[in-house]
Amino acid sequence: MSELVPTSVTVGLLAVLGLCIGSFLNVVIYRVPEGKSLMRPGSACPGCEQPIRAWDNIPVVSWVLLRGRCRSCATPISLRYPLVELATAGLFALTAWRFGITAYAVAVLVLMATGVALFMIDLDHQRLPFVITGSAAIGAGLALLTDAVVQGTEPVLRALLSVLAWFGVYGGIWLATAGRGMGLGDVAVAPVLGLVLGWLGWGPSVVGLMSGFVVGAVVGVALMVSGRAAARSRVPHGPFLLTGAGLALFVGDPVWQAYLRLVGLG
């Protein structure tokens, strides 16, 4: 199927889709932690409460044309809105490039979209809302069921074992640290990541599980050295967990193969 559509077309289309989904994620990131409806009211300027018109709500483009200010009252519009849209577009394009037009790619896209929302909400509120994690589990689960129908059930057992491994590691840390090391939100997100990575292979699953902690340690040390954080300050683990899993989707297999060669098993 992917031969019928050139990769460049798929990647371009998914980038545009990513911009639109990213625009919706900005609403999710702002409203879900406050328990507000995602549908109404429509977006309004926080300064003058003027509703934002459709043509001022085009992802990235409107922000650039308005030079990052409200059309009515010139209140600055944060740079993070176009950045979230661009990041989502980049992740969607990368997914299309790596996984083509497949049911598995849909599972990864679900993970990318919900992952961006969880990443930002954890930074803002130190929370990973269960409603988003649940949506990720249902969306990715349905896509993988479709993949099993198309590709066969070979990955099913591995993915289920991977779910147990991720849940075991994160649940174990949560119990051992009495909830101080990480939150229940992390324990809930971990098995969903384990599911999608385990479906791909053991390499991505193991590398994803490890790299969450490696990325966390590297960023933690960098923050301490630069004086931005004290040794005991609370840095949410979710963004590291999600970044590690994201990296493993793309480089998990080569890293795992290199490791096996290094220890003489490959």
**Nearest distance, CB of residue 20 and Zn ion, angstroms:** 23
Q: How far is CA 61 from the centre of its chain?
A: 23
Name residues contacting Zn ion, limited to 219-248 (CB under 5 A). Answer: none
Task: Kindly state whether residue 72 participates in binding Zn ion, applying the rule CB under 5 A.
Answer: yes
- Per CB under 5 A, the segment of 64-72, 190-198, 203-211, 229-237 that binds Zn ion is 64-72
Residue whose structure tokens are 């702002």: 30
Task: Kindly state whether residue 70 participates in binding Zn ion, applying the rule CB under 5 A.
Answer: yes
Give the nearer residue to Zn ion in terms of CB position, either 70 or 110. 70
- Side chain identity at residue 102, one-letter code: T
- Side chain identity at residue 3, one-letter code: E
Q: Are 239 and 122 in contact (CB under 8 A)?
A: yes
- Side chain identity at residue 105, one-letter code: A
Task: Kindly state whether residue 151 participates in binding Zn ion, applying the rule CB under 5 A.
Answer: no
User: How far is it, in rounded angstroms, from Cα 149 to Cα 244?
Assistant: 29
Among 48, 157, 175, 218, binds Zn ion (CB under 5 A): 48
**Nearest distance, CB of residue 169 and Zn ion, angstroms:** 47
Among 2, 75, 177, 233, binds Zn ion (CB under 5 A): 75
**Contacts of residue 45, Cβ cutoff 8 Å, sequence gap at least 6:** 52, 70, 72, 73, 75
Q: 76 by DSSP, 3-state: which? A: strand
Give the nearer residue to Zn ion in terms of CB position, either 77 or 249. 77
Please give the structure tokens belonging to residue 20. 């639109």
Number of residues that bind Zn ion (CB under 5 A): 7
Give the nearer residue to Zn ion in terms of CB position, either 63 or 104. 63
**Nearest distance, CB of residue 45 and Zn ion, angstroms:** 3
- Per CB under 5 A, the segment of 66-74, 133-141, 159-167, 205-213 that binds Zn ion is 66-74
**Nearest distance, CB of residue 26 and Zn ion, angstroms:** 16
Q: Is 74 left (phi over 0), alpha (psi -120 to 50) or beta?
A: left
Please give the structure tokens belonging to residue 34. 């406050």
User: How far is it, in rounded angstroms, from Cα 5 to Cα 214?
Assistant: 38
Q: Are 204 and 151 in contact (CB under 8 A)?
A: no
Task: Kindly state whether residue 189 participates in binding Zn ion, applying the rule CB under 5 A.
Answer: no
**Nearest distance, CB of residue 60 and Zn ion, angstroms:** 19
Task: Kindly state whether residue 73 participates in binding Zn ion, applying the rule CB under 5 A.
Answer: yes
Q: Are 234 and 186 in contact (CB under 8 A)?
A: no
Among 21, 32, 45, 137, binds Zn ion (CB under 5 A): 45
Give the nearer residue to Zn ion in terms of CB position, either 56 or 147. 56
Binding site for Zn ion (CB under 5 A): 45, 47-48, 70, 72-73, 75
